[in-house]
A and B are shown apart, each in its own frame.
Chain A
Amino acid sequence: MTFKLLTSAAALLAMLASPASAVEKRDGKYWMVVGSRQAVSHIDPGQSYDYSIRMMTLALYDGLVKYTGNPPEVEPWLATDWTTSDDGLVWTFNLAPEATFHNGDPVTAEAVVYSYKRVLELNEGASWMLSDILRPENIKALDEHTVEFTLDRAYAPFLSFLPWWFIVNPAQVEAHEVDGDYGKAWLAEHDAGSGPFTMERFDQGTAYWLARDDDYWKGFPYDSDDMGGVIYRIIQESSSQRAALMSGEADLVSDLTPEEFDVVAQRPDIEVTSSQTLATFGLKINTQGEKMHDINLRKAVAYAFDYDTLLQIYNGKATLQTSPFADAIKGKVDIDMPRQDMDKAREYLAKTPWPDGGITLEYVYVQGLEEQRQMGLSLLNSLKDLNIDLEMVPLTWANMVARASSPDTSPDLMAVFATPVSTDPDAVAIQYHPISHGKYYGSHFIEDDELTALIDQGRKLSDWDERAPIYAEIQQKIVDIQPEIFGMLRMRQFAHRDYVKGFVDTPIRMSAEIDFYPIYIQP
């Protein structure tokens, strides 16, 4: 006991003497510590998802296909190849015969059928992506390694959603079912997947340990066998993340401010990555609101908005939107977008019932997000020239979602980052369809029959050559009716120590989501 006390005292002294620790091995392996803000509420691929849940499920499970690269492409994964019938209804996937779950069971067509049925029948999480075109009884295992999906109707974006449908091991899930819950309670903290990592420790709200599966059926894209795994550690404050990165307590962090990224980038042992995302930032306009239903007022505000300020707020780490679609969205075309032009703004205002202004608009943004507050101040300043007042209302995200649920409560302007879950243009276009009304990104409540018909038409066709012109028209139409002030595409940044290798970002990932598969440590 005395010896132990002495050694711990010595350890404390050592801690005093050496502030920054370099990368260390634990049990002969490197464990990469990732500092991020958001806890992982569960790791069940069938229940709800946010970026941290998606990051975990991507590490623990495999889908038939996976998004990789920039621009993001759908790549074969558990499925080696697939065919589609001429009418676009029947999709047949061939599975990699060597794929196995973590417990050694083979990944079979039956497991795929079970996993898809599970999500559809739970009707949670990713279910919405396919629930109106795919019925559980229309998913069939043709043989051990072939699975067939028959859709209710042709649906072009089908494949683009499949990366978020992960395959679970039915044997493990069924063994842990309680009262027909499809293993929900157990899967919340345990994995039954075939992915590159297994769940080693789940310390809710503190740290989550993903052990690398050395026998992963697909292998790893690097040679080193030294990687033990990833520890996803919750570090709430950006300043703490920065400190952890600089002191070596974290190897990779995601949530620094633009200024902090610039500071850490100065260090020779830290690398900062920067890449575009699919998330667009804009001010959603309530087009059924008391004043903003007037298209001319919407145009006036759009021309008064100071777009350059947006770029300044992000230290130039952003580009202005040149379409309602992000650059990585298939079929994106450049549209002539409104830019600040006070003369034009006044012209449009003159056509409204308030030609001399004298009105007040409400701007709602996320409480505590300094960037969004600054955007509001910039808009407030621009609108003064039109004699329009801006009431800035900070709200928690929960309250913003509640406000967005009805045209009666939706604010005139709401600052929103909208992230589509697929690169198919339908994933963005659908945000301007009545089906999205009431969701946070549908707080514009835009109703335009022509636009709705175009969106409906685009998603039914399977031939891209037929779809492309429709989406070009949709983009122009959206800008014409101005349901939002189209802002910017922010560059997503990560900072990591220089011994972290293989990090790649893909625009399809949600805010601070990371694909751990290709990353390894090489001091």
Chain B
Amino acid sequence: MTRLILKRLGLMVVMLLGLAVVTFTIANIAPGDPARLAAGPDATQEMVDQIREARGFDEPLPLRFAMYIGQLARGDLGTSVYTGRAVARDIAQFLPATVELVFFAITIAIIVGIPLGVLAAVWQNRFPDHGIRLIAVSGAALPMFWLGLMLQWYLALQLGWFPLGGRLGVFDDVPPQFTGMITVDALLNGDPSTALTALWYMVLPAAALSLPALAAIIRVNRAEMLEVLGRDYVINAKAQGIGPFRIIAVYALKNAILPTLAMIGLRFGWMLGGTVLVEGVFDFPGIGLYAAKAAVSSDFEPIMAVTLILGAAFMFTNLLIDLAYAVLDPRVRNQV
């Protein structure tokens, strides 16, 4: 097991380096002049050149790449041309919000998706199955931002049940920052009411964000359950008179859950990067909004940093899923 972890971690470093090469190249050959944009529309050529020189944009590309890698090795993610702030500081501010949102969304997807997948399989081709499949198809088909807008329009604006956007009310006190995740920070600060409020603000964006994952979980879980329920050992268990709940929960679900788990892992990484639309609709100040703003402004260093961090998160969740596989399935463990 240790060998597997070390091998995978080593591979991750190589893959991240490759990702850095790709993002750096794309960012630097893409059109757009960050120095001119940062200097402002009326700036003189001299002012633009001053920024270009100060930021090293006038150096040859290979030298700039070497400087960039050196910088990364020192743990420095660079500086935003626009805000003049360290990118690491921005990411420390915006990433926890997104992680918190994604965790909440994936939790919703799991809690709702897995039972629905099971129910659909158990009642295959009967009324509940049709209903659940409708949810699954809608989840895959509806654009996330549209769903977000609809939820916002109806549940927030028409019914007033939820806030329109943000992480907390504008007059709410933000708890002292330990992790950057408001719910966690508020609980650490002994303030469950703020944690609850923060959770309340996340319900709609998390619902919009979770629907595609929810749909995928239902589909995969339903298919796996159907397959497992048809296997000999389940039929055998039934013949021995074991109760249906025990058969589903213990015999079938345990074996059907593995592919679902793998899919959830992939979804987690995908959702981290895919929050941009939902964050835009709900003005949720996370990494998605930050990256989108950087992208339209040709602010390279934040874009590259976000890509690397999301890439690393994606690889890391994959590793965790593989490890979970190894723990749950002895055949996988033995292969290692």
Residues of A within 8 A of B (CB): 1, 4-5, 7-9, 11-12, 15-16, 18-20, 24, 26, 31, 33, 39, 41-42, 47-50, 123-125, 127-129, 131, 184-185, 188, 203-207, 231, 233-237, 239-240, 243-244, 246-247, 249, 396-399, 401-403, 405, 421, 438-441
Contacts and interface: CB of A to CB of B under 8 A. Distances in A.
B179 to A, nearest CB: 17
Interface stretch (B30-38, B262-270, B311-319): B30-38
A243 B34 CA distance: 34
A398 B32 contact: yes
B196 A236 contact: no
A310 B190 CA distance: 58
Given A8-B196, A205-B290, A399 B85 contact: no
A444 to B, nearest CB: 15
Contacts, number: 162
A125 B48 CA distance: 11
Given A243-B156, A405-B36, A131 B84 contact: no
Contacts of B282: 240
Interface residues on B, range: 35 or more
B46 interface: yes
B280 interface: yes
19 contacts: A19-B160, A48-B39, A128-B43, A128-B47, A205-B285, A231-B170, A235-B165, A236-B289, A237-B280, A239-B153, A240-B164, A244-B164, A397-B297, A398-B33, A398-B297, A399-B298, A402-B298, A403-B31, A440-B41
B200 interface: yes
Interface of B: 31-34, 36-47, 50-51, 80, 82-85, 90, 93-94, 149, 152-153, 156-161, 163-167, 170-171, 174, 190-193, 196-197, 200, 280-283, 285, 289-290, 293, 295-298
Nearest to A436: B42
The binding surface of chain A is classed by DSSP as: mixed
Given A31-B171, A398-B37, A439-B42, A235 B283 contact: yes
A438 B32 contact: no
Contacts of B31: 398-399, 402-403
Interface centre among B46, B84, B174, B191 (most CB of A within 10 A): B84
Given A243-B157, A246-B157, A396-B32, A207 B170 contact: yes
A399 B29 CA distance: 12
B39 A16 contact: no
Contacts of A249: 163-164, 170
B33 A401 contact: yes
A125 B280 contact: no
A12 B196 contact: yes
B160 A20 contact: yes
A16 B297 CA distance: 40
A234 B285 contact: yes
Given A49-B40, A204-B93, A401 B170 contact: no
A441 B41 contact: yes
Contacts of B191: 4
A294 B300 CA distance: 39
Given A4-B193, A234-B285, A401 B37 contact: yes
A469 B248 CA distance: 90
A127 B305 CA distance: 32
Contact of A398 (B153, B158, B296): B296
A18 B163 CA distance: 11
A240 B281 contact: yes
Contact of A402 (B33, B40, B85): B33
Contacts of A16: 160-161
Contacts of B193: 4-5, 7-8, 11
A128 B93 CA distance: 34
A243 B170 contact: no
Nearest to A206: B285
A399 B298 CA distance: 8
Nearest to B162: A15
Nearest to B45: A438
A92 to B, nearest CB: 27
B82 A401 contact: no
A47 B84 contact: yes
B130 to A, nearest CB: 32
B281 to A, nearest CB: 6
**Closest 8 pairs between A and B when the two form their complex, measured CB to CB:** A19-B160, A8-B193, A398-B32, A398-B298, A41-B83, A206-B285, A402-B31, A243-B157
Contact of A8 (B83, B158, B197, B295): B197
